[in-house]
Amino acid sequence: MLGEVRRIFEALWTGYGPQGWWPAEHPWEMMVGAVLTQGTAWRNAVRCLENLSAGRLLDHPAQLLDVSVHCLEEMLKPGGFWRVKARRLRALSRFIVDRWEGDLDRMFAVPTALLRRKLLSVDGIGPETADCILLYAARRPVAVADAYTRRILQRCGVTGELGYEATRRLLEAAFPGEVEKLQELHALMVRVGKECCRKRRPRCGACLLESLCEAAAGTGPSPGGVRGPRRNCLRGG
């Protein structure tokens, strides 16, 4: 199974190359973006980031606590969920200001497992957002097991229906300690997911998902692959 995951990564890497994630100037901007993109198209999250940046509210966590909630909400409107996201961003700012005096370097000095637990205790930081922060802002070897990734692994027949944590452990076992690869993996999975592995039945007759399934199966040039009857995205349920 680990080999299948690695083959999928190699196929994606070969096909698409580096994605340059996460697009942010600094760790705090990355963290804010991670909250803003929840359930929202990235392009709309970017509008919010631009509003914040233009208002000089994106340089330091404490800045978000210095403006009125109303003002903050106005800037977040283009991204949707603006009421909850204003609350969540302030919760995250307050968390960093209260516990680490607003100093991200201090926060990132905390060991990975402990920091993950602390992040999850913040309102609005769930597993995926926490892992994105750990992977891209703190540069820890943590995997992001988002919905796209789980669907792709499932539809390529690599796994059955796996929950978030089980998928995360699988990915981390496939690339232990490899921060760069885990970063690219998540970015590439999102890219492919958007193209041909959507929620509703993917129309992937000619799409890349098919070759990913083959890559996972080890068909084609690479030797030693796992063979035999399998479900792929075209035949699978």
Q: How is residue 115 written in tokens? A: 């920091």
Rounded Cα gap, residues 116 and 106, in angstroms: 14
Does the footprint of DNA cover residue 128 (CB under 7 A)? yes
Look at residues 46, 74, 62 and name the one whose alpha carbon lies nearest to residue 104.
62
Q: Which one of residues 2, 25, 43, 234 is an interface residue with DNA (CB under 7 A)?
A: 43
Does the footprint of DNA cover residue 108 (CB under 7 A)? no
DSSP per residue, 149-168:
HHHHHHHTTS-SS--HHHHH
Tell me the window of 30-38, 56-64, 95-103, 108-116 that interacts with DNA (CB under 7 A): 30-38
Q: Which one of residues 200, 223, 227, 229 is an interface residue with DNA (CB under 7 A)?
A: 200
174 SS3 class: helix
Tell me the window of 49-57, 63-71, 74-82, 216-224 that interacts with DNA (CB under 7 A): 74-82
Q: How is residue 51 written in tokens? A: 């509003």
Closer residue to DNA, CB minimum distance, 38 or 167: 38
Q: Report CA-CA distances (Å) from 31 to 5, 22, 59, 181.
A: 27, 10, 12, 20
Q: How far is the CB of 1 from DNA (least distance, A)?
A: 21
Closer residue to DNA, CB minimum distance, 131 or 214: 131
Place of tokens 């210095």: 66
Closer residue to DNA, CB minimum distance, 60 or 186: 186
Query: How many amino acids of this chain bind DNA (CB under 7 A)?
Result: 43
Instruction: Mark residues 160-179: x for contact with DNA by CB under 7 A, - for none.
Output: --------------------
Look at residues 62, 130, 51 and name the one whose alpha carbon lies nearest to residue 90.
62
Residue 200: DSSP 8-state: S
Q: Which residues bind DNA (CB under 7 A)?
A: 21-23, 33-34, 37-44, 47, 77-85, 122-130, 132, 136, 146-148, 190, 193-194, 198-200
